[in-house]
């Protein structure tokens, strides 16, 4: 059986051994838990962001850097009116496990004044989310790896809680941290675009067990001056710039019934930068239409029939406004 924690531990070991090259800090706190700071006090960087993203996917996905061309005019893109964005490719061949059982940020960690959303392999040990009843996956590992999007370092009390829920010793817990407004943090959020498509398909009732592999390309948000602005930019990269492709094995009508509901443009809140939407609802996430949280563009190839399905498109106008590029 695939163990996302054991697979991710291989990447963690590499990061520890190469911490100076990666501009990260490795700290052992009082209870023996190891913290990898990828962007709070440490500078971090692009390679740290790549590895952080791959840890989120339990070692089952790969990230590479590229550029993304988006046409700025109507009609066919002949190259004369394209805007190039700093971007990444994400590929994963076990998306149900790598994306949903590991990468999805579904574990709310709230201890005292500390709060963060947890993603990564440790979720598949703790099983704190109802989602795992549908996934039917449970990891078995004596080490636990968790990624926290936070600007505050977790203390021993937080680490002990996480270790207890995962059924491991505190000294066998590894926590990686990066705020949204950091290089590594920005990269690991854009790397979620395949996962956001998987999550959306699951939410609208599609059998994501039929998804064999996923691929995506997404702009990487320029680093903002604070986490609030960074949250807006990073979300917009997926909602308005993320392109995804999936290989599935099912009947065509199952795809046809849901494909138009997957992209972000199926939401009533689509069409303005995420930060404006957030302010519109007085910074209450739960008032935002949940159908918004998905990639801009999706293509599905049905391996059973050979047919292809497509919905959505990128929105360069919102991207330019959000990212502050001319």
Q: Tell me the C-alpha to C-alpha distance, in Å, between residue 62 and each of 35, 98, 238.
A: 23, 11, 17
Q: For 260-311, what is each residue's pLDDT tens digit?
A: 999 999 999 999 999 999 999 999 988 999 999 999 999 999 999 999 999 9
pLDDT at 71: 76
* Residue 70: pLDDT over 90: no
Tokens 């399905």 belong to 309
Q: Where are the alpha helices (DSSP H) in the chain?
A: 4-17, 19-22, 46-56, 95, 123-126, 131-135, 156-166, 183-190, 193-203, 227-241, 252-256, 274-280, 316-323
What pLDDT does residue 76 have?
A: 46
State the DSSP code for 151: S
Q: Which residues of 122-147 are buried (b: 16+ CB within 10 A; e: fewer)?
A: bbbbbbbbebbeebebebebebbbbb
The answer to whether residue 235 scores a pLDDT higher than 90 is yes
Token pair belonging to 296: 């801009």
Tens digits of residue pLDDT in 21-36: 999 999 999 999 999 9
* Size (the chain), residues: 326
Q: What is the domain-level CATH number for residue 219?
A: 3.30.1030.10
Cα 201 from Cα 254, distance rounded (Å): 11
Q: Which tokens hold the place of 167?
A: 């059924």
- The reported pLDDT for the residue numbered 83 is 81
What tens digit of pLDDT does each residue of 109-119 get?
Answer: 999 999 999 99
| pLDDT exceeds 80 at position 81 | no
Give the per-residue pLDDT at 286. Answer: 87
Q: How far apart are CA 202 and CA 205, in angstroms?
A: 5
What sign does the CA torsion over 23, 185, 200, 67 have? negative
Average pLDDT (96-106) is 97
Angle between helices 183-190 and 46-56 (to 10 degrees): 40
pLDDT score, position 79: 53
Q: What is the domain count for the chain?
A: 1
The pLDDT of residue 73 is above 90: no
Question: How many C-beta atoms surround the C-beta of residue 161 within 10 A?
Answer: 17
Instruction: Give the other-Cβ count within 10 Å of 113's Cβ.
Output: 6
Asked whether residue 80 carries a pLDDT value surpassing 70, the answer given is: no
- What's residue 84's pLDDT? 85
The better pLDDT of the pair 77, 106 is held by: 106
Map residue 290 onto helix, strand or coil: helix
Q: Determine the structural domain holding residue 89 and report its residue range.
A: 4-323
Is 258 strand, coil or helix?
coil
Q: Would you list the DSSP string of 10-59?
A: HHHHHHHHTHHHHT-EEEE-TTS-EEEESSSSS---HHHHHHHHHHHTTT
Mean pLDDT of 39-52: 98
Please state, in angstroms and rounded to a whole number, the distance separating the CA atoms of residues 300 and 286: 29
Q: Average pLDDT over the chain, rounded to whole?
A: 95
Greater confidence, 77 or 232?
232
């Amino acid at each position: 059986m695939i163990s996302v924690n054991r697979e991710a531990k291989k990447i963690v070991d590499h990061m520890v051994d190469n911490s100076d090259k990666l501009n990260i800090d490795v700290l052992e706190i009082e209870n023996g838990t190891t913290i990898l700071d990828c962007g709070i006090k440490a500078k971090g960087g692009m390679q740290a962001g790549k590895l952080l993203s791959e840890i989120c996917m339990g070692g089952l996905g790969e990230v590479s850097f590229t550029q993304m061309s988006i046409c700025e005019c109507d009609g066919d893109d002949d190259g004369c009116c394209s805007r190039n964005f700093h971007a990444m490719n994400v590929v994963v061949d076990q998306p149900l496990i790598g994306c949903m059982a590991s990468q999805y940020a579904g574990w709310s960690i709230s201890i005292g004044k500390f709060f963060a959303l947890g993603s990564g392999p440790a979720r598949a040990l703790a099983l704190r989310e109802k989602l795992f009843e549908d996934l039917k996956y449970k990891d078995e590992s004596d080490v636990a790896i968790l990624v926290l999007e936070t600007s505050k370092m977790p203390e021993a009390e937080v680490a002990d809680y996480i270790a207890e829920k995962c059924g491991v010793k505190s000294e066998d817990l590894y926590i990686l941290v990066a705020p949204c407004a950091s290089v590594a943090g920005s990269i690991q959020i854009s790397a979620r675009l395949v996962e956001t498509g998987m999550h959306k398909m699951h939410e609208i009732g599609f059998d994501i067990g039929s998804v064999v592999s996923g691929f995506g390309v997404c702009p990487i948000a320029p680093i903002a001056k604070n986490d609030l602005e960074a949250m807006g930019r990073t979300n917009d990269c997926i909602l308005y710039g993320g392109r995804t492709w999936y290989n599935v094995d099912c009947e065509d009508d199952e795809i046809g019934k849901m494909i138009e509901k997957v992209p972000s443009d199926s939401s009533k809140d689509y069409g303005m930068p995420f930060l404006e939407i957030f302010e519109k609802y007085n910074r209450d996430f739960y008032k935002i239409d949940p159908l918004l949280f998905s990639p801009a563009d999706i293509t599905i190839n049905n391996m059973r029939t050979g047919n292809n399905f497509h919905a959505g498109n990128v929105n360069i106008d919102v991207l330019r406004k959000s990212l502050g590029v001319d």
